[in-house]
């Protein structure tokens, strides 16, 4: 699958703006998979996404809580982090299927850990850190 778009992000503000741009076109029931190393910008992207959805809550990485919910915007956003999950069974026990059927938007960091649990229509974003420190984000549609 080749990327639909690839952008070079030079600042935190640009990464937040990229997340906001994605939020402007997202639909109810959407699932977004974020893939990339630690520090590549995934959580900053989610900050922009959640803010643009109209939720005023502070976005933090759900690494230890595993999922954060952001209601109150245009659509509710459920933000998962699969980094510390050891098995697909753990994710299912968190209510993964219920979140997918909830009518909001599901955003999952480290989504490539459990690709078989991601719906076929998942929108994938790949985050890398270039040699010059610039973040590179590639968008892959289902």
Question: Sorting pLDDT into bands at 50, 70 and 90, what band is 62?
Answer: low
Report, as an integer, the average pLDDT of 57-76: 83
Q: Is residue 20 part of a domain?
A: yes
Number of domains in the chain: 1
**In this structure, is residue 141 part of a structural domain?**
no
Q: What is the pLDDT of residue 61?
A: 76
Place 1 in a pLDDT band, splitting at 50, 70 and 90: very low
Please list the helix, strand and coil fractions of the chain in percent, rounded to the nearest 5, in that order.
30, 25, 45
Please write the tens of the pLDDT for every residue from 2-39.
Answer: 457 889 999 999 999 999 999 999 999 999 999 998 89
Report the CATH number at residue 44: 3.40.50.300
- 83 lies in some domain: yes
Count CB-CB contacts under 10 A for residue 139: 15
Residue 1 domain flag: no
Using CA atoms, how far apart are residues 133 and 88, in angstroms rounded to an integer?
A: 33
pTM of the model: 0.91
Answer yes or no: is 2 within a domain. Answer: no
Q: Which domain holds residue 79?
A: 11-121
Rounded mean pLDDT of 97-112?
Answer: 95
Residue 132: inside a domain = no
The answer to whether residue 128 is domain-embedded is no
The predicted structure's pLDDT at residue 60: 77
pLDDT, mean of residues 63-87: 88
Q: Is 84 a member of any domain?
A: yes
């Amino acid at each position: 699958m080749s990327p639909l778009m690839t952008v070079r992000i030079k600042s935190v503000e640009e990464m937040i703006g990229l997340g906001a741009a994605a939020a402007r076109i997202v639909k109810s029931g959407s699932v977004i998979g974020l893939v990339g190393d630690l520090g590549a910008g995934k959580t900053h992207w989610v900050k922009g996404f959640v803010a643009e959805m109209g939720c005023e809550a502070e976005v933090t990485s759900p690494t230890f809580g595993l999922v954060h919910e952001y209601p109150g915007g245009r659509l509710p956003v459920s933000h998962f982090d699969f980094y510390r999950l050891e098995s697909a069974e753990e994710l299912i026990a968190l209510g993964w299927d219920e979140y997918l059927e909830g009518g909001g938007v599901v955003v999952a960091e480290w989504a490539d850990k459990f690709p078989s649990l991601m719906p076929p229509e998942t929108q994938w974003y790949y985050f890398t850190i270039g040699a010059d420190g610039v973040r590179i984000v590639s968008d892959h549609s289902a």
